[in-house]
Copies of this chain bind each other. A is one copy, B any other.
Amino acid sequence: MTTQATDAHPVTVDFRTSPRRYRHWRLETDGPVATLTMDVDVHGGLVPGYELKLNSYDLGVDIELYDATQRLRFSHPEVKVVVVTSGKEKVFCAGANIRMLAAASHPWKVNFCKFTNETRNGIEDATANSGQVYIAALNGTASGGGYELALACDHIMLIDDRSSVVSLPELPLLGVLPGTGGLTRVTDKRHVRRDLADYFATRPEGIGGRKAVAWRLVDELVPRAQWQEKVSERAVATAQRSARAAAGGGPGIELTPLDKTRSGDAIGYAYVSATLDSERGVAEITVTGPDAEVPSAIADTRALGARFWTLAMTRELDDLILDLRTNEPEIGTWVFRTRGDAARVLGYDALLLDNRDDWLANEIIGYLKRTLKRLDVTSRSLIALIEPGSCFAGSLLELALAADRSYMLDGPPPDDPDSKERAAICLGPANIGPLPMADGPGSPAAPLPMANGLSRLATRFYSDKSGFTAAADAAGRDIEAAEAEELGLVTFAPDDIDWDEEVRIAVEERSSFSPDALTGMEANYRFTGPETTETKIFGRLSAWQNWIFYRPNASGPDGALRKYGTGQRADFDRKRA
């Protein structure tokens, strides 16, 4: 398969932005109602070679959307409803830009879809867990990814102007699937009957009017003349019903620009750093614990704002994950270390978890949850190294629990054999919910669940109740290497004589395997247990889409993606597989 322009994309993509720099979205708030208006700059594509007509989007457009959803949560606690609409006439959004997709390399396409999916899952998360309810106000046609954006909203209003429709034209026009959860959400979330959903997804001209309501594709059809009024009414009524408390306690905090340094082989922030070894295909990532005592009261977190350790660290980790995923596809193994004071990490956790009714505490925990989920769906091998001086405790222990494998040194630091210092890990409420652990595995109280709805600890001991209980019983105290291995909390616990060699082999071996097979294996193992819309999107829908994207029927010279808009028909290999 030929790779295209974006394969050697000329820019290192930067995920940092802010509303004043947006080119494609407007974010306005009016008391409890925010309006997010999509008005894509046709000439504002992230890489050259395509025009973003009809509110179609590329990664750059979606980076702004992600930024807006984050700022709504942190800087606008008064907002209870977010109306997503379009600044164009007669078109809401035409979905991902086809020429961009046709020219993109396979890894770029896959990574782009993953990020856009995460942002849409985040919209659902804001609706469910922050009481910021998203309403899609479709003032024109929503096709493909445009309709999928609407599907992520809690309520879909469609203008009744005899021309606006919703559609999923990917299959008939492009020979691919809707890439951001459309198939799953149509049936599993909106309960469109599957045979009607089949018809809908093969009909490029879409469905509007009363049929769209009858089939549950949209919730409401609004006459053109009453559009503004009905959208306002809906927003106000939704705000009144919102579970969000009355912005208990003052204004939001500012998400100040991330202080980041980046060279070819190093990325640094205040609490997170990474060194990149292109030859070995390895990123060595270190997360540093809090550098200050735990604030004495939750109100202090508001004054600290973006400098508060948990929030600062989470923002940095989030940016690093996005940066490495997008810009460093050949760095296939991420090795995680931590450094710092475990007790402080637990103290910061406790401050947040004891104050979950505080809106900011709730947002910080939720953001850490989403960032760890982003790690879970990252197509890189994750290895945690637990050494003396580390602070894999509570929220930071989740990094080790998210890893495909963890190695814990059973002995002194290799470079200081006389040291009495030993590595220890510590489970806390961030890992298993309020202590003492009452609800058993899968406790809904676990504050950092994976996409499958379970905590990483419960997933680790899936259906092994006694293993889970033994581990959870050890919560709140330091666990050294031999016991951690015995309890099944780490994969291996080599002693100081074997440590270097064993870790080296684990990392090098990873680089020798097929990157594709590793991605497939990890995607399967990381989602043991129950399934949710999210796991279906990342575990199943994405896998099919990756396959379809890669096949010549879509991406080959005669494939549908490449022939779109040329006036020529795609030439399909008709063999079913």
Interface residues, chain A, CB within 8 Å of chain B? 105-107, 110-111, 170-172, 174-177, 183-184, 187-188, 191, 193-199, 201-202, 281, 329-332, 379-380, 403-406, 459-464, 467, 488, 491-492, 509-511, 513-526, 528-531, 536, 539-541, 543-548, 550-551, 553-554, 560, 570, 572-577
State whether B464 touches A516 (Cβ < 8 A): no
Q: How far is the CA of A513 from the CA of B202 in the complex (A)?
A: 9
Q: How far is the CA of A526 from the CA of B526 in the complex (A)?
A: 24
State whether B577 touches A107 (Cβ < 8 A): yes
Q: How far is the CA of A574 from the CA of B525 in the complex (A)?
A: 21
State whether A516 touches B574 (Cβ < 8 A): no
> A110 contacts which of B488, B528, B577 (Cβ < 8 Å)?
B577
Q: A193-B467, A511-B574, A516-B548 are in contact. List 20 more A-B contacts (CB 8 A).
A: A110-B577, A176-B514, A177-B521, A191-B462, A193-B460, A194-B459, A195-B404, A196-B491, A197-B525, A198-B525, A329-B577, A330-B574, A514-B553, A514-B554, A514-B570, A515-B572, A520-B548, A523-B540, A524-B536, A539-B540
How many Å from the CB of A537 to the closest CB on chain B? 10
Give the 5 A-B CB pairs with smallest separation, nearest first: A175-B514, A543-B543, A520-B544, A531-B531, A547-B547
Of A170, A171, A467, A517, most B-chain CB atoms within 10 Å: A517
State whether B543 touches A544 (Cβ < 8 A): yes
State whether A524 touches B544 (Cβ < 8 A): yes
Q: How far is the CA of A4 from the CA of B531 in the complex (A)?
A: 38
> A524 contacts which of B174, B184, B196 (Cβ < 8 Å)?
B184
State whether B171 touches A201 (Cβ < 8 A): no
Q: How far is the CA of A551 from the CA of B199 in the complex (A)?
A: 31
State whether B198 touches A330 (Cβ < 8 A): no
Chain B residues closer than 8 Å to A524, beta-carbon distance: 177, 183-184, 536, 540-541, 544
Q: Nearest residue in B to A182 (C-beta to C-beta)?
A: B524
Chain B residues closer than 8 Å to A521, beta-carbon distance: 171, 177, 183, 198, 201
State whether B576 touches A193 (Cβ < 8 A): no
